[in-house]
Amino acid sequence: GLMLVAGPQGASLQLSSGEIVTLISTVAIAAEIIMISAYAGEVDVR
């Protein structure tokens, strides 16, 4: 979707440093969500 918004010139495979940082942080947040869902059932909330 972002490639379409960026236009045809945005279709290249070159990544800037900001895009790389964004991809890394996205993977980190996804891993956090997966780990929370895996361990949430084991926590005693009482």
Note the pLDDT of residue 16: 81
13 vs 46: CA distance, rounded Å: 50
**Is residue 34 included in any domain, yes or no?**
yes
Which tens digits make up the pLDDT trace of 13-45?
677 888 889 889 999 999 999 999 999 888 777
Note the pLDDT of residue 42: 84
- Contact between 24 and 32 (Cβ < 8 Å): no
Note the pLDDT of residue 14: 74
Domain range for 34 is 13-40
Provide the number of structural domains found in the chain: 1
Note the pLDDT of residue 15: 75
Note the pLDDT of residue 12: 64
**Is residue 24 included in any domain, yes or no?**
yes
Amino acid at 33: I
Mean per-residue pLDDT, 5-17: 69
